Structure 1
Amino acid sequence: MTTLTFDSLNPATGEVVGRHPKHTAADVDKVVGRAEEAARWWAALSPAERRRRLLDYKAVLTRHMRELARLVHDETGKPVADATLEIVLTVTHLDWAARNAQKVLGRRRVNTGLVGLNLVGTLEYLPLGVVAVIGPWNYPVFTPMGSIAYALAAGNAVVFKPSELTPGVGVRLAELFAESVPEHPVFQCLTGLGETGAALVADPRVAKVAFTGSTATARRVMAACAENLTPVVAECGGKDAFIVDADADIAAAADACLWGALSNAGQTCVGVERVYVVDAVHDAFVRELSARAARVRAGEHYGPITMPGQVEVIRRHIDDAVATGKVVTGGPGAVRAPYVDPVIVEDVPEDSPAVREETFGPTITVRRTRDVQEALDLANASAYGLGGTIFSRNTRRAADLARRMRSGMTAINSIISFAAVPSLPFGGVGDSGFGRIHGGDGLREFARPKAVSRQRFPMPGMNITSFGRGPADLERLVRLVTLMHGRRKR
């Protein structure tokens, strides 16, 4: 293995948290080779054996929750309480994936229809082999484990390349897994910079890549994977909208909106960035929102901007919003790297970078709308489509709005609640990516469907798949199909 190293730093203090190898292409080659062997062993285990080991891993993670939360805090700067919440959600997803994999993926009979009356059809989902996971730094446990846990439960081996900003978290996740599954390296971690990840996704032995990161980087990953026709599930950026209807609970909406926008310093792919408020309640909502924002402190309620380069993006968006809109809270002085204080600006033009581009910081743009339909139209007028939120007391209208919102997930009268439900799939549309993690769709994402048909007995008088087929055989088939499907529905 390579002897070159790099340091992970605490973004709040600049102190060195840990030192990790810069794994080379040669290292990647060896790790993927080991993963191939491990994948064969892991896939050959019975579903019950995999389930037992994964539930044991869940218990190990739970016992090490405080230690892991402290490491997340050290590498990202986020409060320990927020890091703990991230790990709690991870544990619930791991539990669900382990307990439901066989039910979702196991062999089952399917209806073969009248034409296939003499057949038995079965469908099951088989492991892919080696899955590469490229993880982000903002939620270094919850987000990658949304792929890792489901890929493992589906019977695959995993090679994980965490962000270079949070390598220690990735290493620890793999180490804790080895306590539960010591026999083979079913879950391995590679550390390094972009070159390490590039070597991993380009390896032809990788059966699938699960990527979380920016839309621009996702395009480069997809281009590399195209060389080997390696399929990709991509969870990219977001510019999530928050709609406040005229009958919404204003206090609850403001509370949820603020947490959705400011928690983790706004560094959340499904965080609130755009708010559309129906005219009748706009002023009351903005007053409530700004009053609550005045009590939130950067460095106390949320941490620093983890990635130093993001500070300039946030500064540019704030400057643009302030120049074209009306400041409610904060302003250019809110940026005091590595921290950014809460910023709320209203009446920012829809074509401004602060509204069109992902900010990934503790900022909110608020716009007054004539009605809830205009709010939905504006929310949907984005290249992104990851998550979103509707606040309304009208249950039927809220459900209709949520369904028509152009996003992979929508929460009603709650914030980011879909991420806490293991049975719900998570993913986006448009520039927010494609494919799904979590839930049954997340399990199937890391498996290949295997269809089998078995003839139980020859179909008398209708041998249609033979060169010995006569005109009478085809005529019987035509009559049968006409009887079944030829009648027009009125």
Structure 2
Amino acid sequence: MTAVAPRPTGLSADFDSLDPATGEVLASFPVDGAEQVTAAVQRARTAARWWAEVGEPARRSRLRAWRAILVQRTDELARLIHRENGKPFDDAVVEVTIVIAHLAWAASHARKVLGKHRVNPGVLAANHAATLEYLPFGVVGVIGPWNYPVHTPMGSISYALAAGNAVVFKPSEYTPAVGRWLVDSFAEVVPEQPVLQLVTGFGDTGAALCSAGVDKVAFTGSAATGRRVMATCAETLTPCVVECGGKDALIVAADADLDLAAEQTVWGAMSNAGQTCAGVERVYVEAPIYDEFVAKVTAQSQLLRTGGAAASYGPITMPGQVAVISRHIEDALAAGGRALVGGPESVRAPYVDPVVLVDVPADCTAMTEETFGPTVTIAKVADVDEAVTAANSGSYGLGASVFSRKRGREIAGRIDAGMVSVNSVLTYASVPGLPWGGSKESGFGRIHGPDGLREFARSRAITSERFPIPLKITTFQRGEKAIEQLRQLASTRWGRG
């Protein structure tokens, strides 16, 4: 059997993948309906059994071979990301390189994290051996976004494959060619079975994947779509891991290195045209250094350029997001905010020039809703306590950043977010051993690291009697003496405070 199975007939239509900068058609893809998605999941069911049975050493070897392909063809994949997503080529190279690091980590650590190991049976089962092992779910459905079309879905795909699952991948309708590249390159190292398959289309295709009999769903996207994914999965009690974006805050304490803080703020807010779920959208700065910090951010933001070969960042990938960005800017200004860099005129689809806003009321959409564009709001606070309170306000809890020479880790420990970088932004994304995920409306579950491997495996606990003991309490023939002995055991072992 080949990895690329024949596609069923009866497709409803095709759709085009476009270069967001020029509108050029890059390729056409089928809109897969329920019939096609169900067929893919059925093929994956057979592939999953095969992939699980080949064993961890063989899986590790295949994943390392895939890693080698990604290394050797990084520029090829980066060029495709640049054309289909719009981000600069160099940024695409960075994205692919981080993916390679995660793939390498998942392949190398799956056995240690998920392999069978002994557990102390404790006093009550001292005559038993206790073991814990992790088994693959079977078939995992992955629904990926367009803003990081390799890094984000591969955070699920790499770990799910390493854990022994087959994967059916539905990429964003804005980046299907990148998804096809990943699936085709994997088939080069695993040609025997369709362990990683592609389905393409829009929201209905994703919904069909959720209800097609997969054993788990990994979703990245908006909170609204995440709720729909969860509702669909709930109908069949299909577990899911959901990452739904954020409105991430950055805190600048009075003792911060302001040059570093400004540089990282601009990068965190503007790179990838601000289309980063854990990007910097809100900045809270202690009053004594507020003016100096704002001046530095303003100066650096004014140097950025959009469009052309030397662009600092690319176009807005999803056309509908331009209206959201424009609305947030206009709401902020109408409520009394000021634009120190850019303004409404910065929005010139498909590009948005940098926008730096100050004096924006806390209840404006620019402060409460995910903008997903190259804009940032900067607010003055009296002290770190006020900054932390403001950072923790709102409905999201994905990531955050803190800049302080002496208090960084202390402040980070007070922030209600799944991930925090101290004296940098987004660094946690490049550390394969750390989990990725948030709280509140940013979703639940984790990818990356040991938690990410366990996310795509189910635990199985086994106890096995090694020798009989006189104290038998799990029997109808135990008698009163056994209960008294049990009381004495509990008092001796746990009775002291």
TM-score range, shorter chain: over 0.9
- Residue 337 (structure 1) aligns with: 349
Alignment pair present for 1:355 and 2:367: yes
CA distance in 2 between partners of 1:484 and 1:401 (Å): 40
Alignment pair present for 1:309 and 2:317: no
1:373 equivalent among 385, 388, 405: 385
Query: For structure 2, which runs of at least 5 residues remain unmatched after alignment?
Result: 1-7
Residue 290 of structure 1 and its aligned partner are, at CA, apart by 0.4
CA distance in 2 between partners of 1:322 and 1:57 (Å): 49
Q: SS of the residue aligned with 2:233?
A: helix
Alignment pair present for 1:325 and 2:342: no
Instruction: Map 1:308-457; keep pairs closer than 5 Å.
Output: 308-323=319-334, 324-394=336-406, 397-457=407-467
May I ask how many residue pairs the two structures share in their alignment?
Answer: 484
Alignment pair present for 1:171 and 2:167: no
- Residue 260 (structure 2) aligns with: 252
Task: Please provide the CA RMSD for this pair.
Answer: 0.8
Residue 467 of structure 1 and its aligned partner are, at CA, apart by 1.4
Q: SS of the residue aligned with 2:215?
A: strand
Residue 39 of structure 1 and its aligned partner are, at CA, apart by 0.3
Residue 68 of structure 1 and its aligned partner are, at CA, apart by 0.8
- Residue 286 (structure 2) aligns with: 278
Residue 81 of structure 1 and its aligned partner are, at CA, apart by 0.7
Q: SS of the residue aligned with 1:18?
A: strand
TM-score after normalising by structure 2: 0.97
1:43 equivalent among 43, 48, 52: 52
- Residue 242 (structure 2) aligns with: 234
Q: Give the aligned residue type for 1:399.
A: R
CA distance in 1 between partners of 2:89 and 2:333 (Å): 33
CA distance in 2 between partners of 1:346 and 1:298 (Å): 22
Residue 196 of structure 1 and its aligned partner are, at CA, apart by 1.1
CA distance in 1 between partners of 2:455 and 2:429 (Å): 17
Q: Deviations over 1:316-354 (max 9, x none)?
A: 000111222122111110000000000001110001100
- Residue 204 (structure 2) aligns with: 195
Residue 237 of structure 1 and its aligned partner are, at CA, apart by 1.4
Q: SS of the residue aligned with 2:283?
A: strand
Q: SS of the residue aligned with 1:276?
A: strand
Query: For structure 1, which runs of at least 5 residues remain unmatched after alignment?
Result: none
Instruction: Map 1:35-184; keep pairs closer than 5 Å.
Output: 35-184=44-193
Q: Which runs of 4+ in 1 moved over 2 A?
A: 1-4
Residue 281 of structure 1 and its aligned partner are, at CA, apart by 0.5
CA distance in 1 between partners of 2:378 and 2:323 (Å): 22
Residue 388 of structure 1 and its aligned partner are, at CA, apart by 0.4
Alignment pair present for 1:221 and 2:229: yes
Q: SS of the residue aligned with 1:404?
A: coil
Q: SS of the residue aligned with 2:278?
A: coil
24-33 or 438-447, which moves further after superposition?
24-33
CA distance in 2 between partners of 1:194 and 1:287 (Å): 43
CA distance in 2 between partners of 1:420 and 1:481 (Å): 47
| Percentage identity across paired residues of the two chains | 58
Q: Give the aligned residue type for 2:473.
A: I
Q: SS of the residue aligned with 1:159?
A: strand
